[in-house]
Amino acid sequence: MAEVVLAVTGGIAAYKSIDVMRILQKRGHGVSVLLTPNAERFVTPGTFAALSGRPVGRSLFPHEEAGVVDYDHLDFARRADVVLVCPATANTLAEMAHGLAGGLVGTTLLAFDGPVLVAPAMNPRMLAHPATVANLRTLRGRGVTVIPPADGLLADGDVGAGRLADPVDVCDAVERALTSESAEGAEGTAAPSAHDLAGIRVVITAGGTQEPIDAVRFVGNRSSGKMGWAVAAEARHRGADVTVLACNVTLPRVPGITYVDTPTAADLHAATVAAMPSCDVLVMAAAVADFRPAGEAPGKIDKSGSDALELRLEKTPDILTEVTAGRRDGQVIVGFAAEHGQAGLERARAKRRRKGVDVLVHNDIARTGIGFGSDRNAITIIGPGDAEEAVAEASKAECARRIWNVVVPLARRG
């Protein structure tokens, strides 16, 4: 699951960028949208704000816009894993080739050093003009991926090359760019190959369990499943055979990944134990209830006639400890631990030793605004052995890449 910044520029094909956004979302990616002033002549900020659930970037000076200031001029560059310009007009391509930053799209592109894709769409003669040809060559030379426009009848009646590529092809190109980016690895780490998990069976637990009190009430936690989803998407990108044991996660499901719903700790326990014989790497990212009501009351507990309700909670089995103790040679096991502050990091180190896992990913829940429910996280990857790697605040997709960069060599050894 990656964070895609979709820059929509002003051409008639702008309406197709709505399809592109929906497809990316269905595939599990987060999408934030930038609109140039000319794009707003074809599509409205309201459409994208409603469909993306995020503020739409419209200008370098949002405080001058009516309404709330929701972003600053570098926010989009900071949050992006990939920037897609779709459709890209001849004018935008020329601006990009010259590094012009007079608008929010140009500024975002100059401030961003990750993968950039452009999906040109324009009249065939504009596309064939030596200026546009030279601009595209310049951009390709800088590593920008150009998604070739298709041939056909254009909105202005001309026939030829210049139609925006099919939205599915555009989204495939974005995912390929993310895969090859993750294959380049993080700074200072060995570059893994794009399919370095091919043939490896990965089981990932995600979300938070809900433990029934009665037929309608439960004891739950704040886990959204986003971190587990990101770990699963990255494993799939790297070619793994991925099964997700999903605890109450409402995020979109990604084609090519197998999902098993495991709402309670008991369901997750049974499914994890059942999955272990055919699993090479287990990543326990789910927030499993440590305690659950001792016995589910039949029906709905009646509140009349009592001012208080006493719940007796019993401890749940520690799934991670149990499956780690029973693992076969070569199986790699990764746990997660949400702990508070610096003392929490120490507890996480001790937890890794106690639970016997190869790698434990610590996230500091004392930090506000990231972690539970957020698209971003800050983690410390503890293990294998004495190795430890801190990932400062980053998208959950980036955290997932860094985790796999550590785990892949262990999985391939097994």
Cross-strand partners of 372: none
Candidates 80, 282, 319, 345; binder of ligand C5P (CB under 6 A) is: 319
Q: Which of 115, 229, 112, 254 is nearest to 180 (CA)?
A: 115
Determine whether 383 is exposed, middle or buried from the number of CB atoms within 10 Å of its CB (0-12, 13-18, 19+): buried
286 binds ligand C5P (CB under 6 A): yes
Report, in this order, helix, strand and coil percent for the chain, each rounded to 5. Answer: 35, 25, 40
DSSP string for residues in 292-340: EESSPPSS----TT-S-----EEEPP-HHHHHHHTPPTT-EEEEEEEE-
314 binds ligand C5P (CB under 6 A): no
- Note if 38 is an active site residue: no
| Residues 233-252, mask of contacts with ligand C5P (x by CB under 6 A) | --------------------
7 binds ligand C5P (CB under 6 A): no
271 binds ligand C5P (CB under 6 A): no
Which residue among 91, 135, 221, 248 is the active-site one?
221
- Of 31 and 361, which CB lies nearer to ligand C5P in the complex structure? 361
Site size with ligand C5P, rule: CB under 6 A: 14
263: preceding bond cis by omega (within 30 degrees): no
Stretch that binds ligand C5P, among 65-73, 210-218, 332-340, 401-409 (CB under 6 A): 332-340
337 binds ligand C5P (CB under 6 A): yes
Candidates 90, 96, 320, 407; binder of ligand C5P (CB under 6 A) is: 320
- Of 314 and 388, which CB lies nearer to ligand C5P in the complex structure? 314
Residue 243 and residue 203 in contact, taking contact as beta carbons nearer than 8 Å: yes
380 binds ligand C5P (CB under 6 A): no
Candidates 100, 318, 327, 378; binder of ligand C5P (CB under 6 A) is: 318
CB 403 → ligand C5P: shortest distance, Å? 12
383 binds ligand C5P (CB under 6 A): no
- Of 77 and 337, which CB lies nearer to ligand C5P in the complex structure? 337
89 binds ligand C5P (CB under 6 A): no
106 binds ligand C5P (CB under 6 A): no
Long-range pairs, 167-173, Cβ under 8 A, ≥24: 167/16, 167/19, 167/20, 167/23, 168/23, 170/20, 170/84, 170/86, 170/117, 170/119, 171/20, 171/23, 171/24, 171/27, 173/117, 173/119, 173/145, 173/147
- Of 205 and 243, which CB lies nearer to ligand C5P in the complex structure? 205
229 binds ligand C5P (CB under 6 A): no
Cross-strand partners of 399: none
First to last CA, the chain: 27
Determine whether 385 is exposed, middle or buried from the number of CB atoms within 10 Å of its CB (0-12, 13-18, 19+): exposed
Q: Which of 239, 238, 243, 315 is nearest to 276 (CA)?
A: 243
| Residues 171-210, mask of contacts with ligand C5P (x by CB under 6 A) | ----------------------------------x-----
CB 326 → ligand C5P: shortest distance, Å? 13
List, by residue number, the catalytic residues. 221
In the complex, the residues that contact ligand C5P under the rule CB under 6 A are 205, 265, 284, 286, 288, 290, 316, 318-320, 335-337, 351
